[in-house]
Structure 1
Amino acid sequence: MASGAGIKRLPIEALGPGTINYFVVGIIIAKQNPRKIQSRVGSAEERGVCSFTIRDSPYDFINVNCWGSLHFIETEMENYNIGDVVEISNARVTHRKPDQDEKFSPTVTSPCQLTVSENQNSLKLYGGDDCSAFEPLLNHTTKPPTDFYTLADIHSNGSSMRGESVNLLAVVRDIGPIRTIKTKDGRSIICRDITIMDQTSSGLPVQLWNAATAHRADSWEPRNTVLFLVDMRVEWNAFKRGMVASDGLRTIITENPDTSEAMMLRAFARTAPVKPSAILEQLANTIPDPGSIRQVMTVQQVFDRTSINYAEAANTEDKQFTALIYCLVTHLDLDGTSRITATRCSRCQLPIDGICINLECPVGSGAEIAAPDTIFDVRMRLTDHTGSLENCRLIGTAAERVLNCTVNEFLAMKDDSRTALKWCLLMERCAARIMVLRPSSEQRRPLVSVLACSVANPVEVAAHIPIF
């Protein structure tokens, strides 16, 4: 409880300029990094400010600015973190100026803002019996729960959204370590890279520059923690070959928002493929008729289309595309030492080594017993007059169509039969229909899945092969 006679507790919605003899209690939902403020001329003392946002109901939240000596701000403010319930008494209440203040602080529902200073001693951790009642407020979004872009929107409209602030709903996919970076002026700041995903995209890199958020990410769980990210800045990153989001002074991140959209996303993320090879396989399975692929390309044109310059200039996501290439099959090891098959769980279809370890799968959780599936997983090299596509994957039912046998029939073959099967395609001029997945920060070269491959008619090749 707040001390002092005549001081009464007020809700955030009741605060207005000139309010006195009050205290307010709220949970911190966002906190900015402490900032050094240029001192007045002639003053030897360095001053600082630390801002945070508190909430006391699903509908009311307000920004708080704490001023004091730089030492006070950098040390005392470390005692207050996201998720802490605080008590603020007799802070100065002023109208906020949306055009000015919201450039440097989160958008809030209150028309006012609170200012406390070091010598007021008006901020402390709250010790009331109702402290736990504030915790559910951490799961309420600060913008309407449907007011967000999908990650596919960010990738596909990147050229027109650079520098914009957007809201995102996504699940954590990967969490990197905290890094310390030296700035040009000698300061040490921390940064943490994470990757988020949703139903429309396997990943968007996110840079967390906010120290409180970066440390809080220690408690996030890949494929389980859903984030509603408000006012994230999106930019093109040449090194990562795509769009990247980063937090800023206006950002508020709500963990595991209590919305139906978040629940559906979490359910999706628990079994969604995240490795580029698994994503490519899933995409390849969406094309029931490879014969419908008729866009002829050379190997060089495939590389050109996956290049960083093409991706930066493109107005569409174009993360994957299909092509028909006329080429020689210059590598197809069906009778040597190369791996030909892979083992999958028969229920969740994830690769396994002995047993399924996917706890979301009935087999992996132990609820069911089922024999694993064995499928083709063959590597090919496709070569034309412009270059070669290495390590093209020929998998599953596509491999059975191309090789004209099931995986069990192949495994029962003798070596001479496998050799004869190999030479039906090896060093032959073929028509190969492929799906290509562009490189990413995780995969520095394009991934290629062969959907169909057969010996081509020479007349067909002469009529369609691109010649430079």
Structure 2
Amino acid sequence: MSGVCKQALRSLHPGMQNAFVIGVIVNSFNMKTIDATRTRYNNGDRGVWTFTLRDSEEDSINVTVWGSEQFIRRLSSNFRIGNVVEVINPKVLERRPDDRSEIFVPSVSSACSLTVNEGNALVQIHDAPTRAKYEPLLMLPIKKLTGLRTLKCIFENLEALRDQYVDVLVVVTFISDVRNVMTRDGRSIKFRTFEAVDGSTDKAVSLMLWENEWIERAASWEPKRIVLLLVDARVAYDNFRKKIVLSIVRKTMITENPDIPQCTAMRNTILQYCNNDIMSENFVTPNPDTITSVMTIQQISEKLNKKPKQGERIQFATILKAYVMDMNVESLSPAILLTRWFVCSLFSPPSKVIADNQDSCMNLECPSGNGTRVPLNVMSLNFKVNLKDNTGYLIGCRLFGDVAERVLGCTANEFQAMILPQRTELKWRLALEKCDVRLHVLGPTATFPNAIYNILSICRIQEDDDTEDTEDNELINNFVSNDY
């Protein structure tokens, strides 16, 4: 292999000899094994591994490595996304647009592809100071983003977009554990699901990761903090879910926290509606203004009682027209006022509730906990609300934090200073009134065995007396006479 010379990806042409390229691995597929009986010379099982390489903001190429199963297994496990590598003496082949294999690899800028054959070419780590210029390429979009779509647009046009590829920017809100599924030919393969939102709609998209590299990388994703750019995600019919969905496929390129202005803006948009709540780490609070679905309590219950598909969980937002039957603002329980470490929440959210006998954080990674900053604790309102409509009850809905302050018209500190009659007066601003209640509903999980009904807003519905429902009037009269 003497005589190889370094080439930029943009300078490659089909048939080039002694090529030598350097770049950062931005995508990697699971290796595949080919049975020896299917190979030309029947000389043992073969393996194949494909990855995507990039050496500049504009230039990228797909690389396919062939060899013995042992060689490919070792190579694919030694090189990871983010590694800067040298590809020495590969075959430089022309890409053909009509080649069916093109739909199973990411779209790249190069008109060529590289093939590495065991014994004739090499892939090795580029261990030199110049690797620093390649590493930032991992956070740049693989192409110009001229057609980003919102989830709202995709959800509203699923049929029209069917079998098309779309680019979308989302914030991860939930990551599942790794699961296994058996294929029809008896193989056990791993997958991991995650949920994501973009603030354009109250709905979250559920996506599956099948490639081992991305399954492992997802383990370190921090919900609400990790933004993903999905280039060439596919809108297609899912036989497993029996509906048209947005999916991550082999052609999809994932960029974590891409270095684009939209990334920070989207993360801030999502965080704007998230309470610093010990439960909110498991889901992201949607913008109540994006909620359009109207449901009854019976419909909410029916949806919660449906068994979710493997890898999915029940989570939705809805508008409920219901009466506020009770609110525990008169409770003597200390749980209605929660004190949290404010500074800690800025460094390792969500912030945690502190005990009465603690006045600062015990987390040494927090500036307040390690003594470099004065402790600063904040108080939050935390109420339980019971709702009723013609179809049933919802008991123990959560009214928390800033939402509770807006609904009651007072801060947590002002509420703490109130005497009981003043708190009772707050309650009767909404009690037995029919309201527009925006709810975020999370089905039972391993962490929280009971469904969570998170109230995002409550607004009284102004109705004339003659339009009041007779059954509701009777219900309220009985409620007042029996309990008040």
Give aligned-pair identity as a percent. Answer: 28
- CA distance in 1 between counterparts of 2:472 and 2:286 reads 29
Match of 1:315 in 2: none
The question of 1:27 aligning with 2:30 is answered no
Q: Quickly say closer, same or farther: Cα 1:323–1:87, change in 2 above 3 A.
A: closer
The answer to whether the Cα contact below 8 Å between 2:390 and 2:471 also exists between their aligned partners in 1 is no
Q: Quickly say closer, same or farther: Cα 1:458–1:137, change in 2 above 3 A.
A: closer
- CA distance in 2 between counterparts of 1:300 and 1:69 reads 59
The answer to whether the Cα contact below 8 Å between 2:330 and 2:424 also exists between their aligned partners in 1 is no
Q: How far is 1:184 from its partner?
A: 3.7
Match of 2:63 in 1: 64
- CA distance in 1 between counterparts of 2:158 and 2:306 reads 14
Amino acid aligned to 1:407: F
Match of 2:253 in 1: 252
Amino acid aligned to 1:252: M
The answer to whether the Cα contact below 8 Å between 1:392 and 1:450 also exists between their aligned partners in 2 is no
The answer to whether the Cα contact below 8 Å between 1:210 and 1:247 also exists between their aligned partners in 2 is no
Q: Quickly say closer, same or farther: Cα 1:391–1:127, change in 2 above 3 A.
A: closer
Amino acid aligned to 1:34: M
- 1:245-296: per-residue Cα shift (whole Å, max 9, x none)? 5433212222332222223334556665177879898756x69xxxxxxx99
- CA distance in 2 between counterparts of 1:272 and 1:221 reads 17
The answer to whether the Cα contact below 8 Å between 2:273 and 2:286 also exists between their aligned partners in 1 is no
Q: Quickly say closer, same or farther: Cα 1:298–1:72, change in 2 above 3 A.
A: closer
The question of 1:433 aligning with 2:436 is answered yes
Any residues of structure 2 matched to 1:389-408 within 5 Å, and which?
389-393=394-398, 396-397=404-405, 400=408, 407-408=415-416
Note the residue ranges of structure 1 that are not aligned, 5 or more in a row.
288-294, 310-317
Q: Quickly say closer, same or farther: Cα 1:454–1:366, change in 2 above 3 A.
A: farther
- CA distance in 2 between counterparts of 1:399 and 1:20 reads 72
Relative contact order higher in (CA < 8 Å, ≥ 6 apart)? 1
Match of 1:207 in 2: 208
Match of 1:121 in 2: 121
Q: Quickly say closer, same or farther: Cα 1:399–1:277, change in 2 above 3 A.
A: farther
The question of 1:324 aligning with 2:331 is answered no
Q: How far is 1:96 from its partner?
A: 0.9
The answer to whether the Cα contact below 8 Å between 1:433 and 1:451 also exists between their aligned partners in 2 is yes
Q: Quickly say closer, same or farther: Cα 1:367–1:113, change in 2 above 3 A.
A: same
The answer to whether the Cα contact below 8 Å between 1:332 and 1:381 also exists between their aligned partners in 2 is no
Amino acid aligned to 2:260: T
- 1:391-417: per-residue Cα shift (whole Å, max 9, x none)? 234562465379xxx73565x12xxx5
Q: Quickly say closer, same or farther: Cα 1:457–1:83, change in 2 above 3 A.
A: closer
The answer to whether the Cα contact below 8 Å between 1:374 and 1:407 also exists between their aligned partners in 2 is no
Secondary structure of 1:73's counterpart equals helix
Q: How far is 1:109 from its partner?
A: 0.6
Q: How far is 1:196 from its partner?
A: 3.4
Amino acid aligned to 1:387: G
Q: Quickly say closer, same or farther: Cα 1:208–1:302, change in 2 above 3 A.
A: closer
Note the residue ranges of structure 2 that are not aligned, 5 or more in a row.
308-314, 474-484
Q: CA RMSD in A?
A: 5.0
Q: How far is 1:31 from its partner?
A: 1.3
What count of residue pairs does the alignment treat as equivalent?
Answer: 440
Match of 1:9 in 2: 6
Any residues of structure 2 matched to 1:367-446 within 5 Å, and which?
372-375=378-381, 377-393=382-398, 396-397=404-405, 400=408, 407-408=415-416, 410=418, 412-413=419-420, 417=421, 430-439=433-442, 444=451
- Pick which of 41-50 and 453-462 moved more: 453-462
The question of 1:78 aligning with 2:77 is answered yes
- CA distance in 2 between counterparts of 1:384 and 1:117 reads 69
Match of 1:451 in 2: 458
Q: How far is 1:236 from its partner?
A: 7.9
- CA distance in 1 between counterparts of 2:32 and 2:294 reads 57
Secondary structure of 2:104's counterpart equals coil
- CA distance in 2 between counterparts of 1:401 and 1:199 reads 26
The answer to whether the Cα contact below 8 Å between 1:29 and 1:138 also exists between their aligned partners in 2 is yes
Amino acid aligned to 1:56: D
Match of 2:112 in 1: 112
The answer to whether the Cα contact below 8 Å between 2:436 and 2:461 also exists between their aligned partners in 1 is no
Q: Quickly say closer, same or farther: Cα 1:297–1:80, change in 2 above 3 A.
A: closer
- 1:212-258: per-residue Cα shift (whole Å, max 9, x none)? 22223355444444332222345688999998754332122223322
Amino acid aligned to 2:105: S
